[in-house]
Amino acid sequence: MNKVNVVWFRQDLRLSDHKALYYALKDAEQSGAKVIGLFHIHPSLNDEFTIRHDYFFRSLEDLVHQAADYQFPVHFITGKAEEAFQQLLDQDFTVQSVFYNKDEVGFGRERDQSVNKWLEAQDIQVESFVDAHIHGAEEVHKKDGGHYKVFTPYYRMWSSLDKPAVFSVDKKKLSELGADFTDQFQEGEEAFRDLLSKCTKEWKHIGERSAIQRLAHFLHNKVHQYEENRDFPAKNATSMVSPYLKNGVLSPRTVYHKAMEVKKENGGESKGLETYISEIAWRDFYNMIHYMYPNSKHEEVSEQYQGIDWNQDEDYFEKWKEGQTGYPIVDAAMRQLNTIGWMHNRLRMVVASFLTKDYLVDWRKGEQYFEERLIDYDASSNIGGWQWAASTGTDAVPYFRVFNPTRQSERFDPEGEFIKSYLPQLKDVPKKYIHEPSKMSAEEQEQYNCKIGEDYPEPSVDHKTMRKRAIEVFEKQKDS
């Protein structure tokens, strides 16, 4: 019987710079095995199907097509983990080893542990790798072995470590060693086609080739101005690679090394590039924090803020979700999220601060809403970002420093360009009023085609009052 090495794809939907694939091919070459790709369709996918799933399955489809071009099919199994993997044992080939890139946190970590145990009990060798981050959760630590809680010293240590090289996958080997058992995985094929039939969005830039192109475009045209421009949502000055990184369509090692090539071309100096690399390190930092605080999706990392008296008023939460707060920058940002499944980083900070401080709504609700809406939803970065904004994380904004949404708007969208792109009812409102349209007189509302209370809401809360209240609530909690 054929011996087969299985590459279990999960959130690493690419064929380049892929550790598990690299090692599966290397091993197969030496041991005379064939190699197949595998994807496990989890039954929970029948319960929920959000924009994130739509994006994910289109990315997976792209991987399947690309792999097929190299005669390297990706097969599908379905059902609960063990029963799904049993399907592998029932085929007319022998599974020699399963190779995969591991999840270090959350549901994936637990799933990996139980599947590992099960595979090993069936005498199947398992090889798993840290691949989704430049440095895995355990790699960056203090000299005494303890973990960092604050980004700056973490980053200093992160920067001092040697960076892993790119794991280039030889596509010729992929064609030589790939084996096709499609006829034995018909049920899985059908389940995959069913999922694709639920995808309704038109994604223009899906898959590995688009990811590489987008990264190259950013590095060759924008990275040197990243430092000055990245906080201005209307400038389109960030790389927008987060959905690719999240689904593993792009490897963070590739991002790092491509950035380094550009640095070299630029004579070794670029503040923009340095800042960009540090952002990529934030991703590793939050993965490490999540690993160290496995319950942080549900619980404040900072114990002193566990049990805050959050506002239970659903009305506020609804207004925030729908972009009806009466603060244009917040509303435009929420509409960006609801429309394209992505939001600019500055705006994520603004809306998260607004929800947790101006509305005093529980950060968990915001975190959950982002999970439903973001195509780049990454539990670690999202929890980290929310706990940062809510002042409950390890390296959080102090609770008494509350973002003023109007000042943020004036500073980072001075002409109201971004606001107008998502709130067309404000398109004729001049710069003077774009950040606070409710200040227009009745005549001005007439003149600028925007009636407050009809076309656009009054501010739902007074920032000054709510800021004071939030600080009091945090102080009370701290002293309790």
Positions that interact with ligand FAD (CB under 6 A): 230, 238-242, 245-246, 279-280, 282-283, 286, 345, 348-349, 352, 370, 374, 376-378, 381-382, 385-386, 389
Distance CA 77, CA 80 (A): 10
Question: In a 3-state reduction of DSSP, which class is residue 22?
Answer: helix
Q: How far is the CB of 35 from ligand FAD (least distance, A)?
A: 29
Annotated catalytic residue within 29, 127, 139, 279? 279
| H or E element that contains 2 | strand 2-9
Distance CA 418, CA 79 (A): 44
Annotated catalytic residue within 158, 320, 363, 388? 363
Annotated catalytic residue within 282, 287, 311, 382? 282
Which residues, other chains included, contact 235 with Cβ-Cβ below 8 Å and sequence gap of 6+? Answer: 229
Q: How far is the CB of 148 from ligand FAD (least distance, A)?
A: 15
CB 380, CB 287: distance < 8 Å: yes
Token look-up 């590459």 returns 7
Active site (annotated) includes residue 310: yes
Which amino acid type is present at position 235? K
Q: How far is the CB of 258 from ligand FAD (least distance, A)?
A: 12
Q: What is the CA radius of gyration of the chain?
A: 24
Q: How far is the CB of 31 from ligand FAD (least distance, A)?
A: 36
Asked if residue 452 belongs to a known ligand binding site, the reply is: no
Asked if residue 286 belongs to a known ligand binding site, the reply is: yes
CB 388, CB 395: distance < 8 Å: yes
Question: In a 3-state reduction of DSSP, which class is residue 125?
Answer: strand
Annotated catalytic residue within 310, 371, 372, 444? 310
Active site (annotated) includes residue 279: yes
Annotated catalytic residue within 8, 158, 386, 388? 386
127 has which bridge partners? Answer: 99
Active site (annotated) includes residue 342: no
Q: How far is the CB of 168 from ligand FAD (least distance, A)?
A: 22
Which amino acid type is present at position 48? E
Annotated catalytic residue within 116, 118, 345, 372? 345
Distance CA 392, CA 216 (A): 37
Which residues, other chains included, contact 48 with Cβ-Cβ below 8 Å and sequence gap of 6+? Answer: none
Asked if residue 378 belongs to a known ligand binding site, the reply is: yes
Which residues, other chains included, contact 461 with Cβ-Cβ below 8 Å and sequence gap of 6+? Answer: 316, 325, 358, 359
Q: How far is the CB of 78 from ligand FAD (least distance, A)?
A: 27
Which amino acid type is present at position 34? K
CB 91, CB 54: distance < 8 Å: no
Q: Is 436 exposed, middle or buried (0-12, 13-18, 19+ CB in 10 A)?
A: middle
Asked if residue 279 belongs to a known ligand binding site, the reply is: yes
Q: How far is the CB of 467 from ligand FAD (least distance, A)?
A: 19
| H or E element that contains 253 | helix 252-265
Q: For residue 9, what are its two tokens? A: 């794809």
| H or E element that contains 185 | none
Asked if residue 242 belongs to a known ligand binding site, the reply is: yes
Asked if residue 226 belongs to a known ligand binding site, the reply is: yes
DSSP-based helix, strand, coil % in the chain, nearest 5? 55, 10, 35
- DSSP assignment of 373-391, as one string? H-TT--HHHHHHHHHHHTT
**Comparison of 17 and 98: residue with beta carbon closer to ligand FAD:** 17
Active site (annotated) includes residue 345: yes
- 475 closest CA partner among 320, 309, 329, 343: 309
Q: How far is the CB of 64 from ligand FAD (least distance, A)?
A: 24
Active site (annotated) includes residue 187: no
**Comparison of 39 and 232: residue with beta carbon closer to ligand FAD:** 232
Q: Nearest residue to ligand FAD, using CB?
A: 385
Q: Return binding residues.
A: 226, 238-242, 276, 279-286, 376-378
- Residues noted as catalytic: 279, 282, 310, 345, 363, 386
Q: Return binding residues for FAD.
A: 226, 238-242, 276, 279-286, 376-378
